[in-house]
Structures are given as structure tokens and as C-alpha cells.
Amino acid sequence: MKTIIFIRHGQSLANVSHTLTSDIDGYPLTDEGIVQAAGIADTTDKTKIDRLYTSPILRAAQTAQIISKKCGIGPIADKRLMERNMGS
């Protein structure tokens, strides 16, 4: 049986500044967000992960990259996982 695990990105500058954004290259993880992503990576080390998908948005990609180092597979960016149509 396949299991799908959803993980939200770690804290980003957008979270800290209360900014709702789909800017692909802005708003990286904060130091706290890096710690959060590493914590999630530590909990996944006993889980066999076959694939790791991520939004290409920086904060999500950074989170996936941290997790991927622990599980030994590269993340696959997929634009369908991006936020969209958020309005003004």
C-alpha cells in the first residue's frame, strides 16, 4: 500500500512579515524554518521515501532540499503544487 505524506514548508520570510505571496524566488526560509525542515527530515529517516515532490517556490524547494539530503533522493519540482490565483 502506498502512503502519501504532505509536509508544509518551514517558516519563511513571508510568514514572518505576514505576506501572502506566490513569488517564486523571494521569501526564503528563516533560520527557524531551516531548523523546522531539519526536524522533519529527522523524523522521516525511518520512512522509505520513493519520491519527493515540491513546489518550485523557493521556501518549499528549500524545505524539500533539506529533507532530500536525509532521505537520499532528489526533490522533483512540479508547478502544479504552486499557490495560484490568490488575488490582491
Enumerate the active-site residues.
Answer: 9, 83
pLDDT digit string (tens) for 26-43? Answer: 899 999 999 999 999 998
pLDDT digit string (tens) for 66-82? Answer: 999 988 899 999 999 98
Domain range list for the chain: 27-81
Triad 70, 22, 75: Cα angle to 5° = 20
How far CA 87 is from CA of 8, 59, 67, 68, in Å, comes to 21, 20, 31, 32
pLDDT digit string (tens) for 48-65? Answer: 889 999 999 999 999 999
